[in-house]
Amino acid sequence: MGYKIPGAAMDRVSLLWRLRRRARRGAVCMTLFCISMALLYALCAENSVPVTDAIFGVRARTRAQPRTHSVIKVVRGGAKTPNVVPQKHPNDPHRPIPVLSNHTNEDLESPPKRTSAKESSGFFARLLPRPLTRVLAGLFSGRRKGELSGKSGDAEFFGPKGLLGEVWNEEMSSSMLGGRLQKVVQNYQAMNKYGVKVSGPGGTSKRTKLSGHELLCQLKEKVQLSTLTPDFQPFSAMAWASLLLPPQQLSSDLGPYKSCAVVSSAGSLRNSGLGKEIDSHDAVIRFNAAPTSGFEKDVGSKTTIRLINSQVMANEDLRFLSSSLYSSGVLVAWDPSPFSSDLSQWYNHTDYPIFSQYQRYRRLHPQQPFYILHPRFEWQLWQRIQDNMAEPIQKNPPSSGLLGTVLMMSLCEVVHVYEFLPSRRKTELCHYYQRFYDAACTLGAYHPLLYEKNLVKRMNQGSDQDIYVHGRVTLPGFRSLNCTAGMVRER
């Protein structure tokens, strides 16, 4: 006679069995869910531009700095990869680095071959589909913050022996970037949201290369600081303009100052200890939502001018209308217009609602000086960058950093620019007051930032040691420049 399990014990065994079965099913479902989420993440990471456009619209993307690890080519059949010739590495003369140029030299060695993905692929890369291998790589090896390429990543540029070297190389080009960031730059080079009409000698290695002094004189002659006043059309016919727009140009109301500081928002300002030096200047310009409270040791506390873009003004999270951050100093706002449009066309087609926000702020803070840059200023500066580069640049306006630098050169005798060219503290940290990492914040994506830095490096009148140790560039003000007739070559 066989042994019979009591009913209560049988119930316990049955319950335990059911629980184990449910646990196994739950584990399987959770595994399938995680794999599905990982595949979805990989799909979105590789197609972030169309996904962003579909959810938020084109405008949400076109003014934002894209993450370098999540952007693909926007315009199919975009800019072709230019010819590459080797140049000497800034730290190792025997190590060639690629520089974008159409120039050829028979005496130079042939450019180094790029290693294909197949040559370095492992077992799983051969066995599994490419999206799945990327998921596994992300899960087990981790994705580097703001990585520059699929292989060497941030260490290639920002490490102690990175390609950026100790001091910024004024011949930097887009071909020196990692593969993914190259795609981002090429996408923006192929796009032409503002209808830019390229003219002049720029964009080719055959251009005449100007000296630093010639570049400074060219800026002085061809880039004119201008702000909106009520006598400009169409504002002369608007009642609010006569009440709220300043009656005179910014350059008539401010300055001249003897020494000025341009304080970038770069992450490399963190732990710099530059606060006292920055505050020692007669005037200090800061940008967008960059705070001073809590960072005085590194960035100082003085704010004479704050240059803000229209996106900051329209962003409700930044509380432009109510935050005390914007209440100190003189405000200067800017918004890019179409390249060839007049003020009337721009007024009706701004990137962000700069004029409605301007009116609201002026009524809330009527005593605070508040100017709007004439969009002609932005495109005049863009043209100077393109004319002096050996390759096409992004057809988007310059960054706030360069706009503010030239603005201060129009008001000051000497201008010190901090961490626009990265110092020995170079990092992928975008801003000193945030925890977001992206190489595009240093090397550029939407803005032609890489080329702006090349231009500033060529105009720098300070030493490389100043850049390396302090991140400080020294530029003369336009008033102190001696540009005799014929000194600047015709472009």
264 is written with which tokens?
């970038």
Predicted confidence at residue 117, as pLDDT, reads 38
C-alpha to C-alpha distances, 409 to 82, 225, 256, 378, nearest whole angstrom? 35, 10, 10, 15
- Please state, for a pLDDT cut of 70, what percent of the chain lies above it: 69
pLDDT band for 2, please (50, 70, 90 cuts).
low
Phi, psi of 316 (to 5 degrees): -65, -30
Predicted confidence at residue 58, as pLDDT, reads 41
Highest mean pLDDT among 5-14, 110-119, 156-165, 257-266: 257-266
Predicted confidence at residue 38, as pLDDT, reads 75
Instruction: Write the DSSP string, 7-19.
Output: HHHHHHHHHHHHH
- Please state, for a pLDDT cut of 90, what percent of the chain lies above it: 52
pLDDT band for 149, please (50, 70, 90 cuts).
very low
Q: Is the pLDDT of residue 479 over 70?
A: yes
pLDDT band for 346, please (50, 70, 90 cuts).
very high
Q: Is the pLDDT of residue 369 over 80?
A: yes
CA pair distance 387, 397, nearest whole angstrom: 14
488 is written with which tokens?
């600047």
Highest mean pLDDT among 54-58, 115-119, 158-162, 326-330: 326-330
Question: Domain boundaries in the chain?
Answer: 212-480
| Model confidence pLDDT, tens digit, residues 284-326 | 999 999 999 999 999 999 999 999 999 999 999 999 999 999 9
Q: Is the pLDDT of residue 19 over 80?
A: yes
Q: Which helix (H) or strand (E) holds 85?
A: strand 84-88
| Model confidence pLDDT, tens digit, residues 383-398 | 999 999 999 999 999 9
| 153 DSSP 8-state letter | T
b/e for 185-210, b at 16 or more Cβ within 10 A?
Answer: bbbbbbbebbebeeeeebbebebeeb
pLDDT band for 131, please (50, 70, 90 cuts).
low
Mean pLDDT of 18-44: 81
| Model confidence pLDDT, tens digit, residues 50-106 | 443 443 344 443 444 333 333 322 222 333 333 333 333 333 434 332 322 233 333
Predicted confidence at residue 91, as pLDDT, reads 38
Range 212-480 classified under CATH 3.40.920.10: no
What length does the chain have? 491
pLDDT band for 40, please (50, 70, 90 cuts).
confident
| Model confidence pLDDT, tens digit, residues 194-224 | 999 887 666 666 677 899 999 999 999 999 9
| Model confidence pLDDT, tens digit, residues 253-282 | 998 999 999 999 999 999 999 999 999 999
CA–chain centroid gap for 106, Å, is: 36
b/e for 290-301, b at 16 or more Cβ within 10 A?
Answer: bbbeebeebbbe
Q: Is the pLDDT of residue 6 over 90?
A: no
